Amino acid sequence: VASLETKLEHSVVETGSLKLGNGHLGVIAGPCSVESEEQILESAKAVKAAGATALRGGAFKPRTSPYSFQGLKEVGLQYLAAAREATGLSIVTEVMTPEHVDLVAQYSDVLQIGARNMQNYHLLQAVGEIDKPVLLKRGPSATIDEFLLAAEYILDGGNSNVILCERGIRTFEAHTRFTLPLATVPYLKERTHLPVVVDPSHGTGIASLVKPMALAGIAAGADGLIIEVHPNPAEAASDAAQTISTEAFADLMVQCRKVAGALGYKM
Ligand code: PEP
Ligand code: MN
């Protein structure tokens, strides 16, 4: 169902302020985790002013260590909804279990399936049954075929609004947190009609590399970006090393519009 041959044109996913695919560029930005109402509101206002078209922020966090901050859960979802109320930005946030799908859908506009859950088939089936778009992140060890078959689980349930996200894979290379394979973007665009988004934050793990890889993602034909931004990156409760400041994000957006404009994207 994801194949370009079945549809012959690239899909557009649109919900509220976010529109991406088939020439439309979407920019999803915000902190890794929702930490407080003030933090998410300040982030939302800053990324909106810089030109972001959706707000990200995790309320349910899949942390490597059980001793790390696990997210504010439902309270975090409420803060995200308040940020949408204040700015009009659509909300993208992760859901980790089938039991939480209805709860997360109640407060958000796009449900994110995290890299660690790309092959959680019961979760994929559960989001296949809702009528909100799903942002599916590539598993760090998944092949492209496995990635596309994971998307098929969602499409097969009747949900046709799936966004694919390249967020970097595990390789022998350790200078970056993950290896961000940008050839995935044009390759996927040849094979599937689904929009493709690049995550240069998790893809590199290094804040200074986020802007160049975001611009490279657009140049490679991505339909969107998802970027971690925080009013005070040094104090971020998760993923601080790869998080950029609101000022750095505003600069990134200026460059982003230049590249996107030169390539004929609509923003
Ligand atoms: C995130 O977006 O903060 C996240 C946990 O991403 P990933 O699932 O790609 O690691
Ligand atoms: Mn993160």
**Cβ–ligand 1 contact at 62 (below 6 Å):** yes
- Cα(49)–Cα(33) distance, integer angstroms: 20
Ligand 1 atom 1 nearest Cα: 32
What is residue 99's predicted lDDT score, i.e. its pLDDT?
98
Ligand 1 atom 6 nearest Cα: 114
Q: How far is CA 144 from the centre of its chain?
A: 18
What is residue 264's predicted lDDT score, i.e. its pLDDT?
97
pLDDT digits (tens, 9 = 90+) for 179-188: 999 999 999 9
**Cβ–ligand 1 contact at 261 (below 6 Å):** no
What is residue 132's predicted lDDT score, i.e. its pLDDT?
98
What is residue 93's predicted lDDT score, i.e. its pLDDT?
98
Check: complex ipTM more than 0.85: yes
**Cβ–ligand 1 contact at 200 (below 6 Å):** no
What is residue 218's predicted lDDT score, i.e. its pLDDT?
98
Name residues of the chain where pLDDT drops below 50: none
What is residue 236's predicted lDDT score, i.e. its pLDDT?
98
pLDDT digits (tens, 9 = 90+) for 120-155: 999 999 999 999 999 999 999 999 999 999 999 999
Which burial class, exposed, middle or buried, applies to 96 when counting CB atoms under 10 A from its CB (0-12, 13-18, 19+)?
buried
- Cα(152)–Cα(250) distance, integer angstroms: 36
Mutate to test the pocket of ligand 1, among 34, 60, 93, 94 (most ligand atoms within 8 A of CB): 94
What is residue 190's predicted lDDT score, i.e. its pLDDT?
97
What is residue 220's predicted lDDT score, i.e. its pLDDT?
98
Domains of the chain: 4-262 (3.20.20.70)
Q: How far is CA 1 from the centre of its chain?
A: 22
